[in-house]
Structure 1
Amino acid sequence: MSQYRADRRAWYALCVLTVVYAFNFIDRQLLAILQEAIKADLGLSDSQLGLLTGFAFALFYVTAGIPIARWADRSNRRNIVALSLAVWSFMTAISGLVNNYVQLLLARVGVGIGEAGGSPPSHSMISDMFPPEQRAGALGFYSTGVSIGILFGFLLGGWLNEFFGWRVAFMVVGAPGLILALVVRFTVTEPRRGMSEAREMSDDSTSLRDVVALLWQRKTFRHMAFAASLYAFAGYATANWTASFMIRTHGMSTGELGSWLALIIGFGGAVGVLGGGVLADRLGARDDRWYLWVPAIVGVVATPFATAVYLMPSAGPALAMMVVPAVLSNVYLGITIATSHRLVGLQMRATSSAILFFVLNIIGLGGGPWIVGLVSDALAGSYGLDSLRLAMLYVVPPVMLWSASHFYLASRHLRTDLLAAPQ
C-alpha cells in the first residue's frame, strides 16, 4: 500500500470520498422531495412512506454495514467504497422503473445495502490520512457530503420532478455514480493503516465481539452513540418530512421548495458540520471534553428555532426559522466519528464506525421518519393536512434536547476512557 507522503494526496482522497458521500445522500434524499408525487402515483400512506424512507432502508443498511466494515478492517477499503457506490447508484437508477410499493421497497433496500459499504471504510481511510488533532476537522469536511447530497437531492429532485416526473429523476440522479465509482477505483490510493500516527498495525486480529465489548465498556461511547442516534432521529425526521410539510401546510411547489431547501439545509448544513469539526479540534486542544460539549451546546441552541418552524403562519417565516437548526444539524457527526476512533485500536476503526452507525441508523434513520409518519396518520382524522405539522412539532424538538443531555453525560467520562484506549 502506498503512503500519503504529500498533503495534497490526502486532501485529494478526502475530496473524492466526500463527493462519494454526497452521492450517498443525493440518492437517499431524492426520495424525500419526490415522495408526495410517489404517494399520489402509487396510492401510499404516510406510514408506508415513513417505512420506505426509514426503518426498511435502515434495517438493511445497518445489517450489511457491520460485515462490510469487518471486511474493510482486513482488506482494501478503496475498492470496497468503489464497489458499494456502483451498487447503490444502479439501484437508485432502477427505482424509476418500479410499478408498485413492493418493487420500490426492494429497490430502496438495494440502495441501503450498497450505501452500507460507503462510510465505515471511508472513515477508516481518513483516520489513517489525518492525525488526531486534525481528524474531527477532516471528518467534518467529509461529513459535508451529507449536506451537499441533501442540497443536490432537493434541487435536482425538485426540478426534475417538476418538468419530467419522479421516475426520470431517479434515473438521471443514479447514473453518474457509476462513473464516479471508476474514479475512486483508479485514482484514489489506499493509505497504510496507522500512517497518520506513525503506528504499525498489529498482526493480531480482533473479532467483532472484541470491538463491541471494548466500546460497551466505554461509558463515553454508550452516551455518545445514543446522543448521536437521537440527534439523527430528529435530523432524519426533518430531512424526510420537511418537503411534505411545506407542500401540505404552505402549498409550495417542488421546484421552488427544492431550491430553498437546497440552500438552507444543504448549504447551511455543510457550513455547520465543517465549522463544528474545526471548532471542536481547536477547543479540544485545550480540553478533550470540548469534543462533546460542542454538540451538546448546539442541540440546546437549535431547539427553540426548530420549534418555531412549525408555528409560523406562512412559508417565508417557516423557512427563515429553519436556518439555525439546518446549520447546526450535523455538527455532531464528524466529532462523534473522530471520538469513536480515538477510543479503539487501528484495526477496529471501520468496525467502530459501523457499530456507531448501526445504533445511529436503527434509532435515527429507522425511527425518525417512521415515527413521524405514524403520529401524522394518527392525527390525520382530527387535523387533516395539519397532522404532519403537529407530528413534527411534538416529536422533533424534545428529541433534540434529549440528545444534548447525553452528549454532556458522555463528556464526563471522556478523559478517563481516552487514557484506557488501545495503543
Structure 2
Amino acid sequence: MSATSVQISGEGPVNVGGFRYVLWVLMFTCALNFLDRQIVNILAEPIKGEFDLTDLQLGLLTGFAFAAFHALLSIPIARFADRTNRSFVIAGSMGIWSLATAACGLAASFSQLLIARMFVGLGEAGGIAPAHALIADYAPKEKRARALAFYSIGIPLGGLLGMAMGGLVMDAYGWRTAFFIAGVPGLLLAPLLAVTVRDPRILKMAANPPVPPIPFRKALSEMLSKKAFLLVTVAGAIQMLVGFGQAAFIASFFFRVHGAALSNIASSIGTILGVAFGAAAFLGLALGLCRGVTGIAGMLIGGQVTDRIAGQGYRAYTTIPALIALLRVPIIVAALLVDDVLLALALIAAQWFFSGVGTIGGFAAIQGLVHPRSRATAAAVYALGINLIGLGVGPLVVGMLSDLIASDGRGPAEGLRWALVISSGLLIPVSLLYWAARDLISQESVS
C-alpha cells in the first residue's frame, strides 16, 4: 500500500503509510460499533416477552439508555482525542463497548440490561468522532466525502451483521447468547487497531513542537457562529430521530403485522434446505441483507456523487440530503401500509438505499466548517444531536406513540404501524433545513 501525504493544520505534509489499510480497519470498527448498538433491535420481542415490557420501555432500552451516556461523554472524549492519540482513544473505547455488549447477555432484570446498555453507550462515545477527525486528516478535502462514505458503510454493514447474526443465534440459542457473540470481535480488533493504525498528528508532533489545542470555548464559538453548522446539526438530529426511531421497531413491526407470513416463508425455506428455520432467523437475514447491501451501495454512491458535485461548490453537501429526505417519505409510508411482506421488505430496502445516499453530506459538511484541530470536537457536537435527539428520543417517541394508539383499541400491531407512519413525516422539516443551508455552506467552509 502506498504512502500518503497528510496536511495537518495548514503546515507541511506528513508521510504516513497505508491509508487504504487505515480506512478498512476504521470501517470495521464502525461496523462493530453499529452491530453492538443495534443488535438489540432484532432481539427486542423476546426481551419484551421475558421482562414483560411496554413499547415505551423498549424505547428506553433500544435508544435512551444508550444515548444518555453516549451524549454525556462524547464531547469530553472528543476533546481528549483532539489532544492525544486518536487511534488509542478509538481502540480503548471499542474494548469498553464490546465488554458491555457481552454483559447484556448476563442481565437478570430490565434494570440490569438498561445499565449494561448505558455502558455500551459510554464506550461508543469514543468511536465515531475521533475516527471522523482521523480520516479528515488523512484525506484531501476533494476526496473527503468518499473517504467518510467508505468508513460509514460500517453503519449498514453493522446493521446487516447485527440483524442476521442476532436472528440466527436467537433462534438457535436465545437472545443472551447473541449478545455474548456480538461482543467478541471488538475485543480482538481493538489491540490490532492500537498497534497498527498511526495518528498522523502524533507523527507531526514528534517532528515539531506541539501546537496548543484550541480551547473548547473557542472551538464551540466557531461552530455556533456558523449558521450552516447549526442548520446541518439540527437537520441531522431530526433525520436520525426518524432513522433510529424506526430502526428500533422495524423488526417488531414485521413480527406483529406480518408474523404469520414470516412463519410460512421460514417454514418453506426450512423444508427446502432440510433444516429448522424460524421466523426470527428469516427476518434477521432479510432485514440484515436489506440494510447491509442497499445501505452500503447508497453510502458509496452518495460519497462519489457528493464529492463530484462538491468539486464545483460545497452546496452538494446539503442539496443532496434535502432532496433525498423528501423522496424517502412516500417510500417508507408505502412499506408500512402494503399487505405483502416481500414487497414491504423491498420498499424498506429502497428507503435504506436512499438514506445511505443522503447521510454522507452532513458528515462531510461538518468537517469542512471548522479548523482542523477542532474536527473531533465538531464531530462530537454533531453526534450529540444525532445521538441525544435521534437515538435517545427517536425510539421513545415511536414507543410512546405506539402505546398511545394501541390503547385506543387498535392493538399493538396497528399502534406500531401508525406510529412509524407518523414519524416519517418529520423528514419534511429535515429537507427544509438542509435546503436552507445550501448557500451558507459554501460561504462558511474553511477546511
Q: TM-score range by the shorter chain?
A: over 0.9
Deviation at 1:333, TM superposition (A): 3.2
Alignment of 1:345-364 (within 5 A): 345-364=371-390
Deviation at 1:271, TM superposition (A): 0.9
Give the share of equivalent positions with the same residue, in percent: 37
Alignment of 1:156-171 (within 5 A): 156-171=165-180
Provide the C-alpha distance between the structure 1 equivalents of 2:104 and 2:66, rounded to a whole number of angstroms. 13
Q: Contact conserved, 1:224 with 1:406, CA < 8 A, in 2?
A: yes
**Candidates 91, 94, 97, aligned match of 1:85:** 94
Is residue 318 of structure 1 aligned with residue 327 of structure 2?
A: no
The aligned residue for residue 409 of structure 1 is 436
Which amino acid is the alignment partner of residue 426 of structure 2? V
**Structure with larger Rg:** 2
Q: TM-score, normalised by structure 2?
A: 0.89
**Candidates 313, 327, 338, aligned match of 2:353:** 327
From the superposition, tell whether residues 186 and 71 of structure 1 become closer, same or farther in structure 2 (CA, over 3 Å): same
Q: Contact conserved, 2:317 with 2:364, CA < 8 A, in 1?
A: no
Provide the C-alpha distance between the structure 1 equivalents of 2:437 and 2:202, rounded to a whole number of angstroms. 28
Deviation at 1:413, TM superposition (A): 1.0
Which amino acid is the alignment partner of residue 289 of structure 1? R
The aligned residue for residue 38 of structure 1 is 47
Is residue 109 of structure 1 aligned with residue 137 of structure 2?
A: no
Alignment of 1:123-202 (within 5 A): 123-192=132-201
SS for the counterpart of 1:239 is helix
Q: Which stretch of the first structure deviates more once superposed, 149-158 or 5-14?
A: 5-14
Per-residue CA distance 1:14-66 (angstroms, 9 max, x = gap): 11000000000111111000010111111111100101111221111011100
Q: Contact conserved, 2:164 with 2:288, CA < 8 A, in 1?
A: yes
Could you say what the CA RMSD is over the residues aligned between the two structures, in angstroms? 1.7
* Ranges in structure 1 where 5+ consecutive residues have no aligned partner: none
Q: Contact conserved, 1:222 with 1:410, CA < 8 A, in 2?
A: no
The aligned residue for residue 213 of structure 2 is 205
Alignment of 1:2-41 (within 5 A): 4=4, 9-41=18-50
From the superposition, tell whether residues 22 and 206 of structure 1 become closer, same or farther in structure 2 (CA, over 3 Å): same
Deviation at 1:257, TM superposition (A): 0.5
Per-residue CA distance 1:333-386 (angstroms, 9 max, x = gap): 332122111111121000000000001211111111110000001111211121
From the superposition, tell whether residues 188 and 317 of structure 1 become closer, same or farther in structure 2 (CA, over 3 Å): same
Which amino acid is the alignment partner of residue 219 of structure 2? V
* Ranges in structure 2 where 5+ consecutive residues have no aligned partner: 6-14, 263-278
Q: Contact conserved, 1:93 with 1:174, CA < 8 A, in 2?
A: yes
Provide the C-alpha distance between the structure 2 equivalents of 1:236 and 1:325, rounded to a whole number of angstroms. 14
Q: Contact conserved, 1:128 with 1:193, CA < 8 A, in 2?
A: no
The aligned residue for residue 120 of structure 1 is 129
Per-residue CA distance 1:158-206 (angstroms, 9 max, x = gap): 00000100000000111121011111011111223798xxxx9982432
SS for the counterpart of 2:111 is helix
Is residue 390 of structure 1 aligned with residue 390 of structure 2?
A: no
Deviation at 1:290, TM superposition (A): 1.3
Is residue 232 of structure 1 aligned with residue 220 of structure 2?
A: no
The aligned residue for residue 282 of structure 2 is 256
Q: Contact conserved, 1:155 with 1:258, CA < 8 A, in 2?
A: yes
Q: Contact conserved, 2:42 with 2:251, CA < 8 A, in 1?
A: yes
Provide the C-alpha distance between the structure 2 equivalents of 1:273 and 1:21, rounded to a whole number of angstroms. 14
Deviation at 1:287, TM superposition (A): 2.5
The aligned residue for residue 224 of structure 2 is 216
The 4+ residue runs of structure 1 with deviation greater than 6 A are: none
Provide the C-alpha distance between the structure 2 equivalents of 1:412 and 1:53, rounded to a whole number of angstroms. 37
Provide the C-alpha distance between the structure 2 equivalents of 1:202 and 1:212, rounded to a whole number of angstroms. 22
Q: Contact conserved, 2:402 with 2:418, CA < 8 A, in 1?
A: yes
The aligned residue for residue 292 of structure 2 is 266
Q: Contact conserved, 1:201 with 1:347, CA < 8 A, in 2?
A: no
Deviation at 1:301, TM superposition (A): 1.5
